[in-house]
Chain A
């Protein structure tokens, strides 16, 4: 009843293919944008912004990147952490070599470096498929992890092999470095993520998205329609790595403030993969939901612990976090392999016909 589309008909194909064709969705997205851009900075605490919202946004972007590659194009990749790292270190080098240039430009540029890495390490996908490709991407992950430690030039020969973010300003306000406020950083991240999500949705809805999905579903048939497999796969790797690279740069510059090779290791790759699996392969919304769940989980557990008054050490809590995560993954795979996004769709369907059962 709340979600009925009856009476909303489109009179042009353009309107039919719009991003949010249903009026309820249109209202919804305006509300969401209003809340995130205006309400949250005014009312939410620094803790919530800095420990929950900002990382969720950043990792959603990384999850979108991986989703484009694995969910839409069907190329399983375990190298996400490495590509995020390329973006982060590239941004650091760019920022220190060209200190005068706007840092946001640097963040976007570092995406291109990550894209280049993605192209290089994605080359095997032309010959290799499925699990084997996943193992090939492991090669890129471990190699890049090694590079982040063994190439001192990357971290400006810092003795601790870590990078420290220099302070940068935008319109006179500090946005990176120790003086940048949580709200400032949050708003910048939000803008970048919102714009890049919109761009991704454009790609998905159009010709390129269809080529990716065709390659995922049946690449032989795709070839016979005239789709060029190698161009499609390479584009997927490039765009996906671009997104991961920007996410990595933002992770360091707009959230952590510093980083080292460990921040972009194989565990990071697994984490983003879990977000994509739980959120839903092949869904942009799913990327957000998956990131929210994975980042929200420790917080929920902590709340449960204090609500029940149990005395568990934080180390133990972390272990319970791991266990819960594993259980959740298995649970989702059993109950809804298409993830939270599909559950959301089912929920919308129920809203559509409520109060009737079907």
Chain B
């Protein structure tokens, strides 16, 4: 009985009791959610355009951030380092297309998925080899990103918002908006969608797969870099980020694998859900439920809607 009270009544009482804390938690959840969405966005980009589920997206976030910080540590000025890192991501896209995607064209999706596993391990190895495994500090000031926070008085208390988080939300929205327009309105966007549907058909219509794939992996690399900068600004750059990036998977389940708005909505739902769950229900379980709560949310969703919130229903013909 007491347990039922603890699960169903108490958390809401606590929420009402200190609404400013609720707002703070919601804000924290929103911020985490935006970052999850950015990672999910990288997945969606690549999946939408090549049908490949890029498991390596998470490590690309870490790798790009490490490259940026590493270059700066070797004396390269901040914005120049940024430019160089973008160049590195371009080279990475070229390499992936040439050595992974091209030999595997037309193979089953599961094969390509497993190839990205291999890519993940390669990037982890390279990252650790070149930059070392200890956590690094993101060069936020040098990149002219704001620091410090705003404290807003509301609801009987106050809510603190880090300026960097607001910046992250703004940058993320800009990126999402431009990508959405790109996919829907432009000729290249249409070609990308064709390629995602069928490699063979796209080839026979004359779409250059290589060009498309390099473009898309490069775009995903840029998104990864932005994510890495934002995330590195909040907590340091380390390989632990790779595991956190796996959280993007529940986001994709909710939002669907091919929907850009879905990635945003899914990310926010997961981020907020996770934080609220951890803060208000966490103590019941002994804390740390953030590790798995997101996946359980996704699981529950899947049971009701196996194709996710935004995904398309797959009809099998026989």
Does a CB–CB distance below 8 Å link A and B in the complex? yes
Interface flags for A162-188 (1: CB within 8 Å of B; 0: not) read 000000000000000000000000000
CB–CB A277/B114 < 8 A? yes
- 26 A-B pairs whose Cβ atoms sit less than 8 Å apart in the complex: A128-B306, A130-B110, A131-B53, A135-B253, A135-B302, A138-B249, A138-B295, A143-B295, A143-B296, A146-B288, A146-B292, A150-B286, A150-B287, A220-B316, A266-B246, A316-B129, A321-B125, A322-B122, A322-B124, A323-B122, A326-B117, A326-B120, A326-B124, A326-B125, A329-B117, A329-B121
Interface flags for A323-334 (1: CB within 8 Å of B; 0: not) read 111111110011
Please report which residues of chain B, range 153-199, place their CB below 8 angstroms from some CB of chain A when the two chains form the complex.
Answer: none
CB contacts (< 8 Å) of A323 on chain B: these are 121-122, 125-126, 129
Interface flags for A307-321 (1: CB within 8 Å of B; 0: not) read 000000000100111
Q: Does B103 contact A (CB under 8 A)?
A: yes
Whole-angstrom distance between the alpha carbons of A142 and B298 in the complex? Answer: 13
Interface flags for B95-134 (1: CB within 8 Å of A; 0: not) read 0000110011001001101110111111111101100000
CB–CB A334/B104 < 8 A? yes
Q: Does B243 contact A (CB under 8 A)?
A: yes
Q: Does B8 contact A (CB under 8 A)?
A: no
Find the residue from A130, A138, A220, A320 having the highest chain B CB count within 10 A.
A138
Q: Does A149 contact B (CB under 8 A)?
A: yes
* Chain B interface helix/strand/loop/mixed: helix
Give the nearest-CB partner of A123 in chain B: B303
Q: Does A127 contact B (CB under 8 A)?
A: yes
Q: Does A124 contact B (CB under 8 A)?
A: yes
- Supposing A277-B114, A326-B121 touch, asked if A127 and B291 sit within 8 A by C-beta, the answer is no
Whole-angstrom distance between the alpha carbons of A316 and B127 in the complex? Answer: 11
CB contacts (< 8 Å) of B306 on chain A: these are 127-129, 132
CB contacts (< 8 Å) of B100 on chain A: these are 330
CB–CB B128/A142 < 8 A? no
* Chain A interface helix/strand/loop/mixed: helix
CB contacts (< 8 Å) of B128 on chain A: these are 319, 322
Q: Does A3 contact B (CB under 8 A)?
A: no
CB–CB B286/A143 < 8 A? no
State how many angstroms separate the Cβ of A316 from the closest Cβ of chain B.
Answer: 6
CB contacts (< 8 Å) of A145 on chain B: these are 291-292
Q: Does B5 contact A (CB under 8 A)?
A: no
CB–CB A127/B129 < 8 A? no
Please report which residues of chain A, range 334-356, place their CB below 8 angstroms from some CB of chain B when the two chains form the complex.
Answer: 334, 337
- Supposing A139-B292, A143-B295, A333-B104 touch, asked if A128 and B121 sit within 8 A by C-beta, the answer is no
CB–CB B302/A334 < 8 A? no
Give the nearest-CB partner of A221 in chain B: B318
CB contacts (< 8 Å) of A150 on chain B: these are 285-288
- Supposing A76-B110, A326-B122, A333-B111 touch, asked if A142 and B129 sit within 8 A by C-beta, the answer is no
Q: Does A270 contact B (CB under 8 A)?
A: yes
State how many angstroms separate the Cβ of B4 from the closest Cβ of chain A.
Answer: 22
CB–CB B302/A127 < 8 A? yes
Q: Does A243 contact B (CB under 8 A)?
A: no
- With beta carbons under 8 angstroms apart, the residue of B103, B117, B122, B299 that contacts A136 is B299
Whole-angstrom distance between the alpha carbons of A150 and B246 in the complex? Answer: 21
CB–CB A337/B125 < 8 A? no
Please report which residues of chain A, range 270-300, place their CB below 8 angstroms from some CB of chain B when the two chains form the complex.
Answer: 270, 273-274, 277
CB contacts (< 8 Å) of A129 on chain B: these are 306
CB–CB A139/B289 < 8 A? no
Whole-angstrom distance between the alpha carbons of A138 and B295 in the complex? Answer: 7
CB contacts (< 8 Å) of B267 on chain A: these are none
Whole-angstrom distance between the alpha carbons of A142 and B247 in the complex? Answer: 11
State how many angstroms separate the Cβ of A135 from the closest Cβ of chain B.
Answer: 5
CB contacts (< 8 Å) of B126 on chain A: these are 319, 323
Q: Does B250 contact A (CB under 8 A)?
A: yes
Q: Which 6 A/B pairs are nearest by Cβ-Cβ distance?
A: A322-B125, A329-B118, A326-B121, A139-B295, A326-B122, A323-B125
Whole-angstrom distance between the alpha carbons of A270 and B100 in the complex? Answer: 20
Find the residue from A221, A319, A324 having the highest chain B CB count within 10 A.
A319
Whole-angstrom distance between the alpha carbons of A327 and B299 in the complex? Answer: 32
State how many angstroms separate the Cβ of A144 from the closest Cβ of chain B.
Answer: 9
CB–CB A149/B288 < 8 A? yes
Whole-angstrom distance between the alpha carbons of A328 and B121 in the complex? Answer: 10
